[in-house]
A and B are shown apart, each in its own frame.
Chain A
């Protein structure tokens, strides 16, 4: 066997040996020997692996055939590379975002524990997703379903940080994640240096310790080996750095990696407010758990839910009201796969990625249709060759195998090129998506396997169609010398119709998304977006107490307006389209809602000159100004939508608004009405807004909004020094222009639009390549027919029309089919569209025209070439 394999790899040597052996024999017998060629053949067959030999022959022959038609080779490999490349790129991203597991021990068995009301809506006033600390302790002691359970706070907290012993004049900020002490144990994450948290760290008497993230250790301390054991002051409390977490570990939340992990017991120091630890009704923790062996997820859910009910009923006192019992018993615990971590990214991009996946799948279909049409066309071109081989006695199976080998060869080449293309594509996609480097996208064996499988499958599927056609070739003379386009609507035409229909769908989607983006950008946002600088700060981090805030606002506001280059400046809790908002129920004196109906309002705390700085028009009354202080009458402004919805027949000025659902306490008097503007994001419809003076409702975190005379980024340094002069500890947390913020809020729309346009164009390109290739082939097959027609007087235009006539039929069929599919398919895009209907006639018409133009151009080139045929030469053809 080995010898045979060896001989397979050195055919020349084998050949020479056989020759020499025969020559020797002939020399001995004075030239007498049987049929030398035949005997040598038999000897070769006996010395090597026959099927392998034939395969190698097929492959060699296949390569020769493919290199003889470079256009086919280029078109096919290009089509597959584009189709497979795009697919791999999208699959890689989906893999990275949707399927990737946390770098922890056995992520598949990790479960996230949620509590919620059984109808899927959180109850609001009892329990949300999160769970309280006392219930965590209760579960640790009482459950029989979970083998491991750890708790952590929802999200990270910003704290001040400095190294003990170093001067604290230049304050730094870090994010901390509060976790139970067994967090690292349960996840099975070790330390890169020092140690991770252990159970004795999580008692209120134990000395405070923290675990630093590898990234922070690297970026801030350049992997100083002396850091473990050092004392770091977080929010004024000294913490000993116990160790550095493993390099690849970033927490249970994708994308938001904390700088420190600290035990839950240090919650009071970190959050600087009333401790939540002992409050059974403070729901601020998430759990990760693993089941005990043999326990199903459903059984565990039932048991944990029973524990939860028991725990809260005991809390409710000896005689809870029926209402309280009902509220408690509505809450259910659910366990969900947690090995992928908690990912905002997954939520944010899952839908667009799925849409893109569908789009690239369509592109791949088009690419495959290309290969199929080309192979079909080629099949007819090779008909004489195959007939000849069949007539000479080639077994049918051998022909089938030959064709199949060639198409697999083709798709492997395409798959290889596609894998290369995919890596460039992934890089581009990551740029387009503005990914945080926390999500690492690197070559993945699963992704590569997926590509290869896809390409081989494509080869087999589309090798079979022409091969199947061949196997039915009939040797009767009437069938010898035909061509593809003889049948009016054969499989080739069907494939092209299908390609045109798919391309139309993709182009229509791209056109709709493009128009929608245009609408989003062009709409009236209600404020002036140019030359505005936004700076985010937080007074609490600088140690301000509530009563000092009003003074800070006034001083800061006065200082900012004096900066050179600043035309106007104001403070606000959130800047427009920041993605933050706060809302709640309200009551209006004299206009109480009917029972059961709640008036909902969106709130924003703003300082003086807010409306002037953003140029939001004041419609009635007065804006918020220096008159409004903590001591003066509480006031508010509302927007036009608020007036339209809640104060229709009343004069808004002088009305009183209350928080909550009844007119209790001190209401704020409406002193002005402003025009509607966007506040949360660019897609929102105008909401009823209420603006309160920051001086009357102080907030610790706020933004500075500065309108500048020139480039807003140019004054960032002055703003920083103004803040520093005000208080050296006041941080400049974020800084960007309003235009950047608006761009940022549109980035998902932009990404989808850009990618769908790219894929739409790709589809169009592929389809036109396919049309070109097929028509060129079929025209070549009709050379003698065209020659005869020209010889009997057909003009060039007639020939062009002759070749194009079939295409027009296919084009009309494809466009009709495409329109039908698009009519159904685009409703799927509805949630992505803004200001455009799914069946926008302009987008449809433009797409149809574009495709018709491209298809006819692709068809015209080969038609025109066919018309240049010299009739004399054409007649001698074949």
Chain B
């Protein structure tokens, strides 16, 4: 998938990933990669600032916890506001894609 499309959907990808459970930054990259069958690769340069931005907006919250490798990692978790926002974005996304589908199907 081209990068430009990805940019606008980064928030959606992060929030959706976190809706499935808490994760640290690296974990989020891996989860997105897995869930998209290696189609979506989120770059660090986009991911970490985005996490910070979402955190400042109060959609996710962070906590330092011991990771699988027993090293301290910053775990992110969805907040109530984040859950609401995710539902909203998901709905918008579905409407958007449906409209585009219809448009493309129209001959």
Chain A positions within 8 Å of B, measured between CB atoms, are: 1, 3-4, 17-18, 20-22, 24-25, 27-29, 33-35, 38-39, 42-43, 45-47
Instruction: Give complex CA distance A1, B56 in Å.
Output: 7
Tell whether B80 is near chain A: CB-to-CB under 8 Å: no
**A21 touching B25, Cβ below 8 Å:** yes
**B45 touching A24, Cβ below 8 Å:** no
Chain B positions within 8 Å of A, measured between CB atoms, are: 24-26, 43-45, 48-53, 55-56, 58, 67, 69, 71-74
Chain A residue numbers with a CB within 8 Å of B71 are 24, 27
With both chains docked as a complex, state the minimum distance between the C-beta of B72 and any C-beta of chain A, in angstroms: 7
Instruction: Give complex CA distance A98, B52 in Å.
Output: 58
Instruction: Give complex CA distance A3, B69 in Å.
Output: 29
**A24 touching B52, Cβ below 8 Å:** no
Instruction: Give complex CA distance A39, B25 in Å.
Output: 13
Chain A residue numbers with a CB within 8 Å of B53 are 46
List 16 A–B pairs whose Cβ atoms lie within 8 Å, in order of A's numbering.
A21-B25, A21-B74, A24-B25, A24-B67, A24-B73, A25-B44, A25-B48, A28-B26, A28-B69, A34-B43, A34-B45, A42-B48, A42-B49, A43-B49, A46-B50, A47-B52
Residue of A nearest to B68 (CB): A28
Residue of B nearest to A47 (CB): B52
Chain A residue numbers with a CB within 8 Å of B44 are 22, 25, 33-34, 39
- In the complex where A21-B25, A28-B26 touch, is A35 in contact with B45 (Cβ < 8 A)? yes
Please tell me which one of the listed residues B24, B43, B52, B73 contacts residue A43 in the complex, with CB atoms under 8 A apart: B52
Instruction: Give complex CA distance A27, B26 in Å.
Output: 10
Chain B residue numbers with a CB within 8 Å of A45 are 49
Chain B residue numbers with a CB within 8 Å of A38 are 45
A-B contacts besides A24-B24, A43-B48, 19 pairs, CB < 8 Å:
A1-B56, A3-B56, A20-B74, A21-B25, A24-B72, A24-B73, A25-B25, A25-B26, A25-B48, A27-B71, A28-B26, A34-B43, A34-B44, A35-B45, A39-B48, A43-B51, A46-B50, A46-B53, A47-B55
Chain A residue numbers with a CB within 8 Å of B56 are 1, 3-4, 46-47
Residue of B nearest to A42 (CB): B49
Instruction: Give complex CA distance A17, B53 in Å.
Output: 15
Chain B residue numbers with a CB within 8 Å of A47 are 52, 55-56
Residue of A nearest to B45 (CB): A34
- In the complex where A20-B72, A47-B56 touch, is A42 in contact with B45 (Cβ < 8 A)? yes
**A21 touching B48, Cβ below 8 Å:** yes
Instruction: Give complex CA distance A29, B74 in Å.
Output: 16
Instruction: Give complex CA distance A732, B74 in Å.
Output: 90
Instruction: Give complex CA distance A43, B48 in Å.
Output: 6
Chain B residue numbers with a CB within 8 Å of A20 are 72, 74
Please tell me which one of the listed residues B45, B49, B74 contacts residue A17 in the complex, with CB atoms under 8 A apart: B74
Instruction: Give complex CA distance A859, B103 in Å.
Output: 82
With both chains docked as a complex, state the minimum distance between the C-beta of B48 and any C-beta of chain A, in angstroms: 5
With both chains docked as a complex, state the minimum distance between the C-beta of A34 and any C-beta of chain B, in angstroms: 4
Chain A residue numbers with a CB within 8 Å of B45 are 34-35, 38-39, 42
A-B contact count (CB 8 A): 59
Instruction: Give complex CA distance A152, B44 in Å.
Output: 86
Interface centre among A17, A24, A33 (most CB of B within 10 A): A24
Instruction: Give complex CA distance A411, B72 in Å.
Output: 48
Chain A residue numbers with a CB within 8 Å of B74 are 17, 20-21, 24
In the A-B complex, the 8 residue pairs with the closest CB atoms: A46-B52, A42-B49, A46-B53, A28-B26, A34-B45, A47-B52, A43-B52, A34-B44
With both chains docked as a complex, state the minimum distance between the C-beta of A295 and any C-beta of chain B, in angstroms: 59
Residue of A nearest to B58 (CB): A3
Chain B residue numbers with a CB within 8 Å of A43 are 48-49, 51-52
With both chains docked as a complex, state the minimum distance between the C-beta of B1 and any C-beta of chain A, in angstroms: 19
With both chains docked as a complex, state the minimum distance between the C-beta of A31 and any C-beta of chain B, in angstroms: 12
- In the complex where A20-B72, A21-B74, A34-B44 touch, is A39 in contact with B55 (Cβ < 8 A)? no
Chain A residue numbers with a CB within 8 Å of B67 are 24
Chain B residue numbers with a CB within 8 Å of A46 are 49-50, 52-53, 56
With both chains docked as a complex, state the minimum distance between the C-beta of A422 and any C-beta of chain B, in angstroms: 44
Chain A residue numbers with a CB within 8 Å of B69 are 27-28
Chain B residue numbers with a CB within 8 Å of A35 are 45
Instruction: Give complex CA distance A39, B52 in Å.
Output: 11
Instruction: Give complex CA distance A47, B53 in Å.
Output: 6
Instruction: Give complex CA distance A46, B43 in Å.
Output: 17
Interface centre among B44, B72, B73 (most CB of A within 10 A): B44
With both chains docked as a complex, state the minimum distance between the C-beta of B76 and any C-beta of chain A, in angstroms: 10
Chain B residue numbers with a CB within 8 Å of A24 are 24-26, 67, 71-74
Residue of B nearest to A32 (CB): B44
Instruction: Give complex CA distance A27, B70 in Å.
Output: 12
Instruction: Give complex CA distance A43, B52 in Å.
Output: 6
Interface centre among A25, A27, A29, A42 (most CB of B within 10 A): A25
Instruction: Give complex CA distance A3, B72 in Å.
Output: 21
Chain B residue numbers with a CB within 8 Å of A22 are 44, 48
Chain B residue numbers with a CB within 8 Å of A17 are 74
Residue of A nearest to B54 (CB): A46
Instruction: Give complex CA distance A34, B43 in Å.
Output: 8
With both chains docked as a complex, state the minimum distance between the C-beta of A67 and any C-beta of chain B, in angstroms: 33
Chain B residue numbers with a CB within 8 Å of A21 are 25, 48, 73-74
With both chains docked as a complex, state the minimum distance between the C-beta of B88 and any C-beta of chain A, in angstroms: 20
Chain B residue numbers with a CB within 8 Å of A33 are 44
With both chains docked as a complex, state the minimum distance between the C-beta of A595 and any C-beta of chain B, in angstroms: 96
Residue of B nearest to A25 (CB): B26
**A39 touching B49, Cβ below 8 Å:** yes
**A29 touching B48, Cβ below 8 Å:** no
With both chains docked as a complex, state the minimum distance between the C-beta of B82 and any C-beta of chain A, in angstroms: 14
Instruction: Give complex CA distance A548, B103 in Å.
Output: 125
With both chains docked as a complex, state the minimum distance between the C-beta of A50 and any C-beta of chain B, in angstroms: 11
Residue of A nearest to B30 (CB): A28
With both chains docked as a complex, state the minimum distance between the C-beta of B46 and any C-beta of chain A, in angstroms: 9
Interface centre among B24, B45, B51, B55 (most CB of A within 10 A): B45
Instruction: Give complex CA distance A28, B51 in Å.
Output: 18
Instruction: Give complex CA distance A4, B24 in Å.
Output: 21
With both chains docked as a complex, state the minimum distance between the C-beta of A329 and any C-beta of chain B, in angstroms: 80
With both chains docked as a complex, state the minimum distance between the C-beta of A333 and any C-beta of chain B, in angstroms: 69
Residue of B nearest to A49 (CB): B56
Interface centre among B45, B48, B52, B69 (most CB of A within 10 A): B52
Instruction: Give complex CA distance A28, B69 in Å.
Output: 9
Residue of B nearest to A29 (CB): B26
With both chains docked as a complex, state the minimum distance between the C-beta of A348 and any C-beta of chain B, in angstroms: 64
With both chains docked as a complex, state the minimum distance between the C-beta of A19 and any C-beta of chain B, in angstroms: 11
Chain A residue numbers with a CB within 8 Å of B52 are 42-43, 46-47
Residue of A nearest to B52 (CB): A46
With both chains docked as a complex, state the minimum distance between the C-beta of B42 and any C-beta of chain A, in angstroms: 11
Instruction: Give complex CA distance A27, B24 in Å.
Output: 13
Chain B residue numbers with a CB within 8 Å of A18 are 48
Residue of A nearest to B50 (CB): A46
